[in-house]
Amino acid sequence: MVPTARMTWDEIKVAYPGEYVVLDDLVIDERTHGACAGRVISHAPTRREALALEPKAAIGEERALKFTGPIRVPPGFVGLFSVR
Asked, for residue 80, whether it belongs to a domain, the answer is no
CA distances from 7 to 31, 58, 66, 73, 78 (A): 19, 21, 14, 27, 33
Report pTM.
Answer: 0.80
Asked, for residue 79, whether it belongs to a domain, the answer is: no
Give the number of other CB atoms < 10 A from CB of residue 50: 22
Domain count of the fold of the chain:
1
Whether 23 is covered by a domain: the verdict is yes
Residue 30, domain member (yes or no): yes
Q: What is the span of the domain harbouring residue 31? A: 7-67
pLDDT tens by residue, 18-62: 999 999 999 999 998 889 999 999 999 999 999 999 888 888 889
Q: Which residues contact 29 (CB under 8 A, 6 or more apart)?
A: 35, 36
Q: How far apart are CA 63 and CA 49, in angstroms?
A: 16
Q: Which of 75, 64, 52, 73 is nearest to 7 (CA)?
A: 64
Residue 33 lies in a domain: yes
Instruction: Classify residue 27: in a domain, yes or no.
Output: yes
